[in-house]
Amino acid sequence: MGEKQILCVGLVCLDIISVVDRYPEEDTDTRCLSQRWQRGGNASNTCTVLSLLGAPCAFMGSLAPGHAANFVRDDFKRYKVDLAHVAEHPACALPISVVISNMTTGTRTILHAARFILSDFQNRNVNVAHVVWQSQGETPCACCIVNSSNGSRTVTLFDTLSDIWIESYRWDSFSTRAGGHNWNLDSGSNLPDVTDADFEQVDLSQYKWIHWEGRNASEQVKMMRRVEEYNQTCPESQQVGTSVEVEKPRQELYQLFGYGDVVFVSKDVAKDFGFCSASEAVKGLYKRVKPGATLICAWAENGADAMGPDGQLLHSDAFPPDDVVDTLGAGDTFNASVILALIRGRPLQEAITYGCQVAGRKCGVHGYDGIV
């Protein structure tokens, strides 16, 4: 049998990214420097980075079929992603619209997009055997505006959850969705996240590590308990490592702190608990993780802090590029790099330093291909 894979569970969405030299004024017609479609979503991005770093990986999440088939399949071929277990339902093609709406002035900008996600997974050699196809609902879609002058990015996400997140700030090195404003509007998207029933179909013996992007926490807790039960039946060398990302400041997600061998907590969540730095957050929140677990908090340009079972507080500085051009997905890059370093047996200090280094490289390039 070949090398076991890393499974990432969570969101995949379509990011429409417009690169501009300055943030456009509202309700104006402005040309961007470039525009691209890019597969997004935290778990999805983590797969991309793991693949680029040489780790075999798989994605588990929900997709609704759509119709940008030519782009989809061409991109899959380019990255050689296996589509053997994808079930297509052509009759259920669902176009997607992204609407940026200003609640104060009533202006709105509309972007129409369709599915291209599967092709990008295949191009990245990401196994999609555990993708759960839904006969109803729409694929989440994000519109991203990247300012090439300072590296800031503004994201509007049409998500499977009833949230619209709009964010803009400079050098958010370690969080693709953190630091924004949540209006809790009904986005109208009804594509469900994968459930514990879906996860029961996963053959855990095929994976060396499973990473969860915190979303439908009550279902994800059941999934993680299943892995814990599985590990109790295995010798240590065959056990599945686990990690979970608690990124959005929502009370439901905070139960996830108690699960996972490694817990990634975002700056936004740390601030929601009243902490003003990564070190404060790690020391203050460590009591929430399970015995023997590791807690990690990245804090953009201030680097990252971590604490393991020995109780020692560790820190890594950030490694900013000469020019910050694109911070979108830097947090997912950090997480993926840390996970891979830990899997390869590197000490926690080296793992978070490696994560900061790779995330810094990511901030200096558009997309992910230039991180290695």
Contact 21, 149 (CB under 8 A): yes
pLDDT tens digits, residue range 167-204? 333 333 333 333 333 323 333 345 678 889 889 989 99
pLDDT for the residue numbered 323: 86
pLDDT in tens, 24-65: 676 666 666 767 777 778 888 898 899 889 998 888 877 766
* Whether the predicted pLDDT of 342 surpasses 60: yes
Q: How far apart are CA 107 and CA 362, in angstroms?
A: 33
Task: Tell me what the mean pLDDT of segment 205-232 comes to.
Answer: 96
334 contacts 174 by C-beta, under 8 angstroms: yes
CA–CA distance, 297 with 305 (Å, rounded to integer) = 5
72-112 pLDDT tens trace: 334 334 543 334 333 343 333 323 433 222 222 222 233 43
Cα separation, 251 vs 194, whole angstroms: 20
Q: Which residue has the higher pLDDT, 296 or 139?
A: 296
Which two structure tokens, joined as six digits, stand for 66? 């759509």
Long-range contacts (CB closer than 8 Å, 24 or more residues apart) made by 151-155:
151/323, 151/324, 151/325, 151/326, 151/327, 151/363, 152/23, 152/327, 153/326, 153/327, 153/328, 154/23, 155/15, 155/180, 155/328
Is the separation of the CB atoms in 135 and 206 below 8 Å? no
Residue bearing the bigger pLDDT, 238 or 194:
238
Residue 142: pLDDT band with limits 50, 70, 90 = low
